[in-house]
Amino acid sequence: MADHSRLGRGWRAHEGRWHPIALEPGQPCHGYATDGGREFLALYVTGGTIWLQSGSRAWDCATIDTVTQISATLRTTGYELRFADGSTERIRVRIPMSVAMRRVTDARFDVVDTWWDDLIRLLPLGSAGHVSEWAVEEYARWSAGFPHTMSGARL
């Protein structure tokens, strides 16, 4: 998987753990990940579906109905996942200090920039659509792989 915020970096699963690796430009990737320090966050293809992983928890995106942002501070963003069966889970995305400082000091920073700070924003949020439908639509492309670039995922 490509590192969502660092060009040339990525992650590989080995013995049930994620390990950092170097990626060449254009190398095929099957997902995105970011390491927020305490919580590893990833969207990736395996086992015939796209998965969302936060820390040690992972969910099949085909079972997620909606993702809604429920909180935001300079360093964290909270989301609620609502599943087709009506159950919910909450996750928190930790924003690196360097990104938080850029948000404060860069007058050009806007909401589009947050797409690279928080990979949950690759999913349709709130009323933008159902994650389960997005997962079905995107599966073939993610499964085939996309070249490692900062703009490989359709936003």
Average pLDDT, the chain: 80
Q: What is the pLDDT of residues 65-83, one digit of tens each?
A: 999 999 988 778 899 999 9
Q: Please classify residue 32 by burial: count the beta carbons closer than 10 Å to its beta carbon, then call 0-12 exposed, 13-18 middle and 19+ buried.
A: buried
Cβ neighbors of 92 (< 8 A, separation 6 or more) are 39, 76, 77, 78, 79
Where the chain has pLDDT below 70, the residues are 1, 3-7, 14-16, 36-38, 109-117, 149-155
The confidence score (pLDDT) of residue 152 equals 40
Residue 49 bridge partners (DSSP): 46
CB–CB of 81/61 below 8 Å?
Answer: no
Please report the DSSP string for 31-96 in residue order: EEEEE-SS-EEEEEEETTEEEEEETTEEEEGGGEEEEEEEEE-SSEEEEEEEETTS-EEEEEEEPP
What are the sequence ranges of the domains in the chain?
A: 2-147
| pTM of the predicted structure, to 2 decimals | 0.79
The confidence score (pLDDT) of residue 108 equals 73
The confidence score (pLDDT) of residue 151 equals 43
Q: What is the pLDDT of residues 128-141, one digit of tens each?
A: 778 999 898 888 88
The confidence score (pLDDT) of residue 154 equals 40
